[in-house]
Amino acid sequence: MSDFQIDINASHLKDLFDRLEGTQQARVVKRAMTQSGKYLHRWIVLNRLKGRRPRYLDVVSGRLYSSITATSLEPTDTGFQIRIGTNVEYAPTHEFGFRGTVGVRSHIRKRKKSLSLVRAHSRRMNIRKRPFIRPAIESRTNQIKILSIFTKHLNEQLAKKQ
């Protein structure tokens, strides 16, 4: 599983956040985290998964981009945390790259008019990294967007309170 954690330093929002009651705080966090997760998912798909190879991964089956999830964690003293990741087994290979030897099981190769048995063997692989989650997290623009989502939801909740 490839999981990354985003720590959102929102200490300047803490005073506003503290004005809300516990249930209102939970509502703001839930809404903001949900919207932030959707935003990051959309950004990853549009800016890292859809596009021509070799720079981007390109969508082949849709399994990778549909497996990307964002989960909100408990608020900390200085801000909020979002965990974004995927459970697809080949995601770390694309995110970090891979160089090494892999075992290939024996199998039957189908050709136009014949079948042949391929024996088990090892193969050297060199797959270059094509990160798709880390750029979403490291992007300053995305960090600012997530803070603006939190600010918007906080202000909406404070306006309802008055």
Q: Per-residue confidence at 78, pLDDT binned at 50, 70, 90? A: low
pLDDT value for 119:
96
d(C-alpha 10, C-alpha 153), whole Å: 13
More reliable by pLDDT, 46 or 118: 118
In the predicted model, what is the mean pLDDT of residues 70-99?
A: 81
Helix (H, G, I), strand (E, B) or coil at 8: strand
Query: How far apart are the C-alpha atoms of 46 and 69, rounded to whole Å?
Result: 15
In terms of pTM, does the model score above 0.85? no
